[in-house]
Structure 1
Amino acid sequence: MLEALRSSFGLRWTQFSWGVYRGLANPWMVTLALLVFIGIVLLASSPHSRRFMLRTAFILLGGYWFMISPLFSIPATQLLVRFLPNNTGETADTVVVLSRGREAEGDRYNTAISLVETGQASQLFITGRNQIMRVFESLQQRELPTEQFFGTTCARTTKQEAYSAASILFAKGINNIILITDPPHMLRAWLTFRSLGFSVTPYIEPLPDETRQSTRSLLTAREYLGLLSYALLGRFNQRSSNSLAQIAEELAADYPPEQCAITADRIHEQIAQH
């Protein structure tokens, strides 16, 4: 019962936070809305409440522009990555790449392929249905073996990415990974994967230079809320010392590998069917 409530709250929180993100993503629309609100206050409010309402509106406007500026995003992002262990170039069994929207995706997939190409890992695992064929074709173009490429199509949130990856990788006896994602996202992702029993080497892929400043700031602000919600939901708590196979079996009920896992063989079959 408690776990069901946690899952329901987690899903609703994800939908709510991304809704807020989209609503705040256009600075000029937010500014216009606040200016319209200020105009309504000047016209419709009583003299007694006008001063308070105007002060509140201007504080919100100033706070919003501060939040989407580098004055917020740079130190806030630096604080997020400060708690991560240093990447010392260690090898791992698998490179795991977490998905992100195209605007903030950066070069993470080429980075992951390069790590496999240079021997830092022998396998490549990605989360996200839309990127699978693109990465598969990149491997073929670089004449790299595709047999060790696989991923999951059952993940839209960080929790789902970690749990679905665990259900597939743990069943293969794999828990030593290099985890690739962007600076704001890495701390929450690292804590979530580590809580399941993964040995995680974080590999931070910068956001693209062309990423809008408002996007950088809002992604960072959302991560602080995400850290709080994940902590309250217990998603950073370490699991009991079950074997990898036992954890994989527990997670397979919600993330069945036969439905979620995508392999090179399945991709070849899909290509043949078309």
Structure 2
Amino acid sequence: MLEPIRSVLGYYWPKLTWKLYYWFMDPQKVTLMLLVVAAVVMVASKPRYRRRMILACLALMTAYWFLLSPLFSVPATALLSSFVPADTGEAADAIVVLDRGGRFQGDRYGQALDMVAAGRASNLLIMGRARGAEVLKAIDDDKRNLSPQMLSAVCVKTTKQEAESAAAALGARGLQKIVLITDTPHMLRAWLTFQGLGFTVMPHAEPLPADVGNRERSLLAIREYLGLVSYGVLGRFQGQSPNTLPEVAKAVADDFPADRCFMTADQIRQEFMLS
């Protein structure tokens, strides 16, 4: 009974949360909707309930504007990061960099290359086809003569898929100690998900760029809180020991075949004609 529900939620949840994110990003649209609801309530409700319903609409409007303010965004983001351990700086088997759209990504790829240059790991797993091309170009342009063993996972859309693809690519090779790089709001859910598959994770949170406003920070935080709840309900944080990571890798191998879901540096170079 639970498995079909998990499957449906796993497919539709990311799409729904991003749709809600972009809708709530428009204060004029949300405020107008709440005003329309308040007007309809005034006309349609019975006089004895009218005042109560109007106050409820006004309370929702006030709550919405509070959620978009620094009064919410700063503590909400800080709470998410407070549960994540600091990066110890130890050497690792691999560096895994999660994808994030556009301006939210910060300098995560530059940080990853700095770690390669510092000798923390020689294996680099980048999530996303286009991101892999960007990183490979940065490696080619870098004057430090970096030569990591780089793979790009190209069949991933969710944090769960990123973790499972990492298990398929790294776990089968006995690479279980990783540096995980993503942005601050996303790190808690990502860290718990990768740990749940048996990785030993050193989280390295990349701050959101300064030009990301409080409204965006608030909605990213809310999305992560919803994600934590949904991943917890779906059992995606259930811990495995490092010894079971090869077994997890075998279990997800069919979902992430090497010939379709991973690209080497040479394959990326050929597809994107990088010189």
Length-normalised TM-score, structure 1: 0.93
Helix, strand or coil at the partner of 2:122: strand
Alignment correspondent of 1:63? 63
Helix, strand or coil at the partner of 1:210: coil
Which stretch shows the higher mean deviation, 127-136 or 235-244? 235-244
- Amino acid of the structure 1 residue aligned with 2:123: Q
Alignment correspondent of 1:199? 200
Q: Which aligned runs of 4 or more in structure 1 are off by greater than 6 angstroms?
A: none
Count of aligned residue pairs for this structure pair: 274
Q: Which runs of 5+ in 1 are unaligned?
A: none
Alignment correspondent of 1:152? 153
Counterparts of residues 107-118 of structure 1 (less than 5 Å)? 107-118=107-118
Alignment correspondent of 1:261? 262
Counterparts of residues 1-274 of structure 1 (less than 5 Å)? 2-143=2-143, 144-146=145-147, 148-239=149-240, 243-271=244-272
* Distance in 2 of aligned mates of 1:210 and 1:238: 36
* Distance in 2 of aligned mates of 1:179 and 1:53: 47
Q: After TM superposition, give the deviation of residue 183 of structure 1 in Å.
A: 1.2
Change (3 A) 1:256 1:70: same
Which stretch shows the higher mean deviation, 238-247 or 198-207? 238-247
- Amino acid of the structure 2 residue aligned with 1:140: D
- Contact kept in structure 1, 2:117 and 2:146, CA below 8 Å: no
- Contact kept in structure 2, 1:96 and 1:125, CA below 8 Å: yes
- Contact kept in structure 1, 2:122 and 2:148, CA below 8 Å: no
* Distance in 2 of aligned mates of 1:273 and 1:220: 37
**Same amino acid, percent of matched pairs:** 47
* Distance in 1 of aligned mates of 2:193 and 2:58: 38
Q: After TM superposition, give the deviation of residue 249 of structure 1 in Å.
A: 1.4
Cα displacement string for residues 221-271 of structure 1 (whole angstroms, at most 9, x for unaligned residues):
111111111111110012367544332111111122221111112113324
Helix, strand or coil at the partner of 2:179: strand
Q: Which runs of 5+ in 2 are unaligned?
A: none
- Amino acid of the structure 2 residue aligned with 1:130: A
Q: After TM superposition, give the deviation of residue 104 of structure 1 in Å.
A: 1.1
- Amino acid of the structure 2 residue aligned with 1:114: D
Q: After TM superposition, give the deviation of residue 205 of structure 1 in Å.
A: 0.2
Cα displacement string for residues 85-143 of structure 1 (whole angstroms, at most 9, x for unaligned residues):
12221121211111111131111111111111122221221112221111110010004
* Distance in 2 of aligned mates of 1:117 and 1:65: 45
* Distance in 1 of aligned mates of 2:200 and 2:184: 19
* Distance in 1 of aligned mates of 2:173 and 2:90: 21
